[in-house]
Amino acid sequence: AVVSAVISGSVNTSIASIPTMMEVVGEYEYSHKDLIGHGAFAVVFKGRHRHHRQSVAIKSITKKNLQRSQNLLGKEIKILSELTQLHHDHVVALLDCKDTQTHVFLVMEYCNGGDLADYLQSKGTLSEDTIRLFFKQIAGAMKALNAKGIVHRDLKPQNILLCHENPNPMATEIKLKIADFGFARFLEDGVMA
Q: Which residues are annotated as a binding site?
A: 59
Contacts of 70 (CB under 8 A, 6+ apart): none
Q: Known binding site for ATP: residues? A: 59
Contact 151, 145 (CB under 8 A): yes
154 is catalytic: yes
Pairwise CA distance, residues 148 & 84, whole Å? 11
Alpha-carbon gap, residue 97 to 51, rounded angstroms: 18
Dist. CA 100–CA 26, nearest whole Å: 11
Catalytic pick among 89, 154, 180, 189: 154
Residues with catalytic function: 154
